[in-house]
Structure 1
Amino acid sequence: MVLISYRALAFAIAPLAFVGSIGLAPALAQTAETVSPATSVTNALPNLIDGKRTFQPAYFNDITPQTAADMVVRIPGFNIEDGESVRGFGGAAGNVLIDGSRPTSKNESLFAILSRIPAGNVEKIELLEGAAAGALAPGKSLIVNVIRKANNKASGKWEVQTTGVGSGRIKPKLDTSYTSKLGGFNVTTGLHAEIENVEDFIGYEGVLSPSGVFTERGPNDDRRRSKYAQATFAMDGKIGDTKLNANASYMEGNFTRDWVHVAFRPNATVPFRVDEGKEEGTTKRWEIGGDLERDVAGWTGKLALLAKATEDENLDLAGFNPVGQTKNFGRFVADSTNEERVARLTFKRKFGAHQIETGGELAYNSLDFVGQYAEGDGTIFVVRPSDISSTEVSENRKEAFVSDSWTLSPKLTLESTLTGEWSTIEQTGASGKKRSFFYPKPRIKAAWKPHDGWTYRVEVERVVGQLDFGAFADSASVGDNNQNSGNPELRPEQVWSSLIGVERRWGKRGVINVSLVQEKFEDQLTLVPTRNGGVALGNVPEAERWGYNISWAIPLTALLAGLEIEGNYRWRDSELADPITNQTRPFSGWNGKNFNTNITYEIPKKKLRMGAWYWRGNNNREYRPNQTFLWDTIQNWGAWVETKAYKNLSLEFGVEDPNGTTFNRLRTDFTPDRRSGVVRQTQYRERSKDGVWYLLVKGTF
């Protein structure tokens, strides 16, 4: 097992001491009796009983919720997490359950699913910790379980949003759903459609010599548009003693991008080169899932099934053409189909202080990919046989596990899980290969609550990453004049992940969480050079990442009733041995710092809420064998006001970055590669986009 290192403990002292000092502050240092509210106070923080806090609908009266999503996001110290984007069910579980079961959908977010449950149909919401959480969702330290009323009434909800950008363009959005009873089943249908993206990035870019002098520069114009529509269907109910859930969704969307850059020599008034290109993409995606649950010989058995597929067609075209010469463009076209089939069978049963769950999963995943690179004058293109890439990748994966959620005492809980994963990956085509893997995946999590309002957590687990099948095939970013080769030798990265955390709760909504994390990687994925001089995603033997998270929700009622500030800060550092220079460097493409916070002010009697938010992050660096890319820190802010003074209506108006946002990127090219340290040239790019305003109207019927 991997334990937190002394280096990691050193930088943990400050945030942990900070939380400890909060416990000594007069405003927060409350005894167990004062922290624990009387159960008759329905809008106070519920008592923790057997690892569970039960929130009645009255707790949310001050915000007049319309949907279950409005209620869940209001629970202090809890953030909705959709789970990892991996194949299968086991590693993709989110932290929200509905009537004790996780939704059998991977294409839809938990927030979207909760948004289709009318608030009037919610009987209560449970927040579960420690073994109580692990008993319903192994591997989760904190989960929410939304319990619906047995006699749900037919109802629906709708929302229309109009978003405007500084250029005067409008982005409409429509979302509607309706829930009714049909033959004893709850049936929900939904429709979502929006113009998701209307962004114009305007700025300039230029090339600097190794001495830092611009050898060329000029304006750029980058315009992006995307839209999609999705229809959903879900039903649940009982047939005899068997619980049944089923869901389906279908989505279509497309994306376009047109860009141009005009390059001028120093002191010239006429351009010497015009760079231009476009990207186009279409996506079709469908999913069908469901589960059956019933008691079998004293055990609760559950069978979950899922089938899904995504079809993508993409075009990437770019030309860097001197004025007055014949134009030459590069074009990369790719068609791909991803499919997934999953079956998961589990059994769980309570034995005294133990909740045992065991089961297994079978999954089949595949990628059918065809890509081709061509060159031409923009109208006629020539494709050489060597520029055609075609491959099929498939994976058969099996998993078996046993989990024990153990309540040692009212103050101490322990969850332990042992999982075995077997997989066989087979690739056809010129680089065809078949490989098999086996990985044990142990996990142990402990939670200690010495006093009411305090929770200490320790977690250690081994996580096996999911290979992106796209990395087995060739790809290209023609606009950056970069191509990546497919790599049939890829291995899944394995991570020993450790966490130490402390949580402090007080009053109705006060909570502060601090956690210290460390991850040790084997076969970490990064770009590596290939034998033929190309670039591909590959494995490095060892790598490490460490950092901490702080999140908070702090009522400021001492200053003003209804005032609250919440947010989080994440800090990470990392290191690996660079496969080009053999020197230690951070991970490629990883954002080390991320901060966001928002302040809200509520006047429940007037059914009025308002707030402002701030986000700062996205500062990262990417490494290629002969290049580095550096993106500057980005800052965003906005403000909003919402009223629910009108019956069954919610009106919200807000602005985001009214002065616009600027994005800076520095690309450095080395010759022949980064080992030499010799800079061939540096490209600086600055782009800005307009701020936006929006008007959101939501209602129920």
Structure 2
Amino acid sequence: MQLGTTSLATKAAGADDGWAKPVRLGRRFGALAVGVAYAGLLMSAAPSAFAQVAGQASSAPIELPSGALGFPAGFFADASPSTALDMVRRVPGFTMIDTDPDVRGLSGATGNVLVDGQMPPVKSVSLSNYLQRIPAGTIERIDLIRGSAPGIDMQGQPVVVNIIRRGGAYSTLAVQSFIKAYPDGDAGPMLRVEASRRSDSLSLEAAVSARNERMQPDSGEGAYSVRTLSGAAVEDGRFATDYWTREVEASLAAEISAGDQVFRLNGAFASIKNDRNETYDIERSPAGAARDRNVIDSETNGGELSAAWEAPVIRGWSPEFLVVSTYERDAESAAQMGRKPVEFSREVSVASETVGRGTATYEAQGGFKLELTAEGAFNSLDVASERTSGGAPVALPAANVLVEETRGEAGVLGSWSSGAGLDLELSGRFETSTISLSGDVQQEKSLSFFKPRLMAAWEVASGLQLRLRLEREVGQLDFEDFAASSDASEGLVSAGNPDLEPELANVVELALERRFWERGALVLTYRHDEVEQVVDLIPVDGKFDAPGNIGDGTRDELRLSLTVPLDRFGISGGLLRFNGAQRWSSVIDPVTGQERRISGERPFEGDFLLSRDVPAWKSSFVLEGDLPYSERSFRLRQIQSLDQGGWWKVYWDYQPRPDMVIRFQLENFTSRERTRTREIYAAARSLTDIGVVERRSAAFDPFFLIRVRKTF
């Protein structure tokens, strides 16, 4: 398979080139030096230029009567934002939770960003993508709401931001294009066009984009080895993976105002094709040199239609109705070839959902609010899987399954805002569903749960707030876990488990928020979960793994969000931001009976940003990075660990004129390395010691990006 302009076969053929490694190292160290120098320049360059803008502070946050903080458009002006997404990411102490298209229904799937007091009428479209459709110039201010505010549905979140667009008539058109230049000569282009038009009675927003680029998290090359537990070499060689994606997306939204009624319509479509090619060049093994390959092709096509109606106020009640329908078809084919008989797998899944939600809100005197909700949904997932080895079919448990669910939920919420810094919210939701399986599995189950929640926010003093959340959470079943699946990249086959039950958790969450220096914020959050029916991996038939319930466990998380304006340190326009989460978990391993971490839990992850806005230069300079993380999963005959290095980038946004922003970006200048380690046992982990340890690494070289955004 030819991927991009350079095939992996060509790369592998050149693996022994004596110059390849020194050149690669030179690129990496050179890029790292550029990144370090950029960070120093960002903090120290041209003090006189920065002095010119001293005292020209942007608009300060506004203390609103509701207790919320309002950030006017001028607050973000020095950073020259292009879209609502750019502005939301600059709200101090706020971390955006994106929409989760895999969550069925609307509760919990909508993120923590509102637009004009309403949740975006989208589900399969990511919140990030939706916010890119809103030009920064059309925004009047962004409110940060902690606890509650009149007329605001918090969507079950303790903190949300509300984007308030300015009134009046306007129209915008923006074109954004970038190209990524990779070290081997390949290029990854992208083009996006956004348009909006707004009047007193009608607003339209549209966006269309296309891209053809590498998926950075999985591309790269590095060492491959298999060792015994004593360290003796079994195999040595090189591993390389190339992963390209081609994507087309289009969306259209309309809002129609007719007197005191508002209608919202939304449509979206996406088509994504991925090509992944993995090559193992074995240089030394008991059988001599060899080559193994995995070729994986996948395609996703889907769309969404939604309609919302905000009805007139009826005797103090404000009713709203929303209907969303989604469709997605995923197809993946994989072939593994080399020393073993050729293995082929294919999986096709078709998922659809139609969900309707009605809400009625009553705002009473004295800060009281009552909200009634009702939601109904029909979901289906049709999965067909097959696998062959050497041309012979391999029997997979629950390979072909049709899953259908009818679900209903009703809830009541009462909240009270004292007006003196104390907000309380008490809610309860009752959910019932019937799930039926047909095909290789004939089964039907009914589930019912009550989900209470208590939230409290107390403004102890100006800029100091305490928050408490007590909640009974009910996890959603992933319908794909009911059917068998194969992962050619990981060399794993998972059986389906129609007996899977949802995970339950009693949650206690405490948060302390401290605001300082107008633009600074510190938020410290601790969360403890008492988990019932932990969903992890269980052995099936002594040879497969499958998602399953492994008993009760605990999860703990400590999160820190820190935003520090650097003006007080003599660096005008400077900003430092850090988000980090430390996690602990505990459950009993179903294979060994010993206590361990829950599979997939990351002990630590975080991100870092250091920026400096220089209005005199019409520029912003940014150093940004995702910190390294690791995770482990525990299977019947192996323990798999993934260690992923940090992903760092530096960029310069230059605005030569008000309607144009040019970005020059060096990405991944530390050459992020991704290492997978598998401790493989000859039999169940409870019966034998580790047989061999397989380790493969892939380091992705730095690359350069130029992005131009032009508005008309």
TM-score by length of 1: 0.89
CA drift of 1:617 comes to 2.6
Tell me if the contact between 2:520 and 2:565 (Cα under 8 Å) persists in the aligned partners.
yes
Match of 1:70 among 86, 108, 116: 86
The AA in structure 2 aligned to 1:194 is R
CA drift of 1:391 comes to 0.9
The AA in structure 2 aligned to 1:202 is E
Tell me if the contact between 1:134 and 1:140 (Cα under 8 Å) persists in the aligned partners.
no
Match of 1:351 among 358, 364, 371: 364
CA drift of 1:234 comes to 0.3
1:98 pairs with 2:115: yes
Instruction: State the match for 1:464 in structure 2.
Output: 474
Per-residue CA deviations over 1:42-73 (Å, capped at 9, x if unaligned) read: 71121242222223322222223332223222
Instruction: State the match for 2:300 in structure 1.
Output: 283
- How many Å separate the matches in 1 of 2:151 and 2:582? 27
Match of 1:577 among 585, 588, 595: 588
1:588 pairs with 2:599: yes
Instruction: State the match for 2:72 in structure 1.
Output: 56
Per-residue CA deviations over 1:302-343 (Å, capped at 9, x if unaligned) read: 01000001001111111341xxxxx62111111110001100
Instruction: State the match for 1:422 in structure 2.
Output: 432
3-state DSSP of counterpart to 2:533: strand
- How many Å separate the matches in 2 of 1:133 and 1:680? 62
Tell me if the contact between 1:50 and 1:410 (Cα under 8 Å) persists in the aligned partners.
no
Tell me if the contact between 2:267 and 2:306 (Cα under 8 Å) persists in the aligned partners.
yes
Instruction: State the match for 1:164 in structure 2.
Output: 181
CA drift of 1:259 comes to 1.7
1:219 pairs with 2:221: no
- How many Å separate the matches in 2 of 1:624 and 1:386? 17
- How many Å separate the matches in 1 of 2:657 and 2:205? 26
3-state DSSP of counterpart to 2:224: strand
Instruction: State the match for 2:383 in structure 1.
Output: 369
3-state DSSP of counterpart to 2:551: strand
CA drift of 1:540 comes to 1.7
- How many Å separate the matches in 1 of 2:230 and 2:160? 55
- How many Å separate the matches in 1 of 2:212 and 2:599? 32
Report the number of matched residues: 651
Q: What pairs up with 1:471-620 in 2 under 5 angstroms? A: 471-531=481-541, 533-557=543-567, 558-620=569-631
CA drift of 1:372 comes to 0.8
Tell me if the contact between 2:150 and 2:363 (Cα under 8 Å) persists in the aligned partners.
no
Instruction: State the match for 2:258 in structure 1.
Output: 239
Q: 1:677 to 1:626 in 2, by over 3 A?
A: same
The AA in structure 2 aligned to 1:335 is V
The AA in structure 1 aligned to 2:116 is D
Tell me if the contact between 1:370 and 1:390 (Cα under 8 Å) persists in the aligned partners.
yes
3-state DSSP of counterpart to 1:105: coil
CA drift of 1:613 comes to 2.2
Tell me if the contact between 1:43 and 1:508 (Cα under 8 Å) persists in the aligned partners.
no
The AA in structure 2 aligned to 1:407 is S
CA drift of 1:124 comes to 2.8
| Deviates most, 681-690 or 575-584 | 681-690
Match of 1:258 among 256, 266, 277: 277
CA drift of 1:282 comes to 0.8
Per-residue CA deviations over 1:342-363 (Å, capped at 9, x if unaligned) read: 0001100112221111111001
1:309 pairs with 2:322: no
- How many Å separate the matches in 1 of 2:99 and 2:301? 22
1:444 pairs with 2:454: yes
Tell me if the contact between 1:174 and 1:193 (Cα under 8 Å) persists in the aligned partners.
yes
- How many Å separate the matches in 1 of 2:215 and 2:418? 55
CA drift of 1:151 comes to 1.6
Tell me if the contact between 1:301 and 1:346 (Cα under 8 Å) persists in the aligned partners.
yes
- How many Å separate the matches in 2 of 1:421 and 1:402? 12
Per-residue CA deviations over 1:101-144 (Å, capped at 9, x if unaligned) read: 11111122222222212223223322222121894224122212
Match of 2:690 among 670, 679, 691: 679
Tell me if the contact between 2:576 and 2:609 (Cα under 8 Å) persists in the aligned partners.
yes
Match of 1:144 among 161, 178, 193: 161
| Deviates most, 63-72 or 493-502 | 63-72
3-state DSSP of counterpart to 1:92: coil
Q: 1:519 to 1:133 in 2, by over 3 A?
A: farther
- How many Å separate the matches in 2 of 1:650 and 1:624? 49
Gaps of 5+ in 2: 1-55
Tell me if the contact between 1:162 and 1:171 (Cα under 8 Å) persists in the aligned partners.
yes
The AA in structure 2 aligned to 1:128 is I
CA drift of 1:615 comes to 2.7
- How many Å separate the matches in 2 of 1:265 and 1:191? 49
Identity of aligned residues (%): 27
- How many Å separate the matches in 1 of 2:394 and 2:636? 26
Per-residue CA deviations over 1:193-234 (Å, capped at 9, x if unaligned) read: 111425542122121123211111112221111110011100
Q: 1:68 to 1:108 in 2, by over 3 A?
A: same
Q: After the TM superposition, list the runs of 4 or more consecutive aligned residues in structure 1 that deviate by more than 4 angstroms.
A: 384-388
Match of 1:249 among 256, 268, 293: 268
Per-residue CA deviations over 1:659-690 (Å, capped at 9, x if unaligned) read: 52222222111131111341111112122111
- How many Å separate the matches in 2 of 1:616 and 1:41? 31
CA drift of 1:237 comes to 2.1
Q: 1:50 to 1:393 in 2, by over 3 A?
A: same
Tell me if the contact between 1:129 and 1:142 (Cα under 8 Å) persists in the aligned partners.
yes
CA drift of 1:161 comes to 1.0
1:621 pairs with 2:632: yes
Q: 1:383 to 1:509 in 2, by over 3 A?
A: same
Instruction: State the match for 2:16 in structure 1.
Output: none
- How many Å separate the matches in 1 of 2:704 and 2:188? 10
Tell me if the contact between 2:67 and 2:421 (Cα under 8 Å) persists in the aligned partners.
no
- How many Å separate the matches in 2 of 1:460 and 1:386? 42
Tell me if the contact between 1:262 and 1:271 (Cα under 8 Å) persists in the aligned partners.
no
The AA in structure 2 aligned to 1:147 is I
- How many Å separate the matches in 1 of 2:131 and 2:643? 36
Tell me if the contact between 2:76 and 2:87 (Cα under 8 Å) persists in the aligned partners.
yes
3-state DSSP of counterpart to 2:121: coil
Per-residue CA deviations over 1:592-625 (Å, capped at 9, x if unaligned) read: 1013211111112322110212332321111101
Q: 1:133 to 1:682 in 2, by over 3 A?
A: farther
CA drift of 1:371 comes to 0.9
Q: 1:134 to 1:548 in 2, by over 3 A?
A: farther
Match of 2:104 among 84, 87, 99: 87
| Deviates most, 505-514 or 124-133 | 124-133
CA drift of 1:375 comes to 2.5
Tell me if the contact between 2:66 and 2:150 (Cα under 8 Å) persists in the aligned partners.
no
3-state DSSP of counterpart to 1:690: coil
TM-score by length of 2: 0.88
- How many Å separate the matches in 1 of 2:151 and 2:595? 38
Per-residue CA deviations over 1:494-515 (Å, capped at 9, x if unaligned) read: 1112111101102221111101
Instruction: State the match for 2:34 in structure 1.
Output: none
CA drift of 1:637 comes to 1.9
Tell me if the contact between 1:134 and 1:405 (Cα under 8 Å) persists in the aligned partners.
no
Tell me if the contact between 1:138 and 1:403 (Cα under 8 Å) persists in the aligned partners.
no
Per-residue CA deviations over 1:57-92 (Å, capped at 9, x if unaligned) read: 222222233322232222211222124441101121
Instruction: State the match for 1:32 in structure 2.
Output: none
- How many Å separate the matches in 2 of 1:83 and 1:454? 29
- How many Å separate the matches in 1 of 2:151 and 2:495? 42
Match of 1:331 among 331, 341, 344: 344
- How many Å separate the matches in 2 of 1:60 and 1:678? 58
Q: What pairs up with 1:117-196 in 2 under 5 angstroms? A: 117-132=134-149, 135-181=152-198, 184-196=201-213
Instruction: State the match for 2:14 in structure 1.
Output: none
Q: 1:546 to 1:231 in 2, by over 3 A?
A: same
Tell me if the contact between 1:134 and 1:141 (Cα under 8 Å) persists in the aligned partners.
no
Q: 1:152 to 1:136 in 2, by over 3 A?
A: farther
Instruction: State the match for 1:22 in structure 2.
Output: none
Tell me if the contact between 1:373 and 1:387 (Cα under 8 Å) persists in the aligned partners.
no
> RMSD value over aligned CA atoms?
2.1
Q: 1:526 to 1:198 in 2, by over 3 A?
A: closer
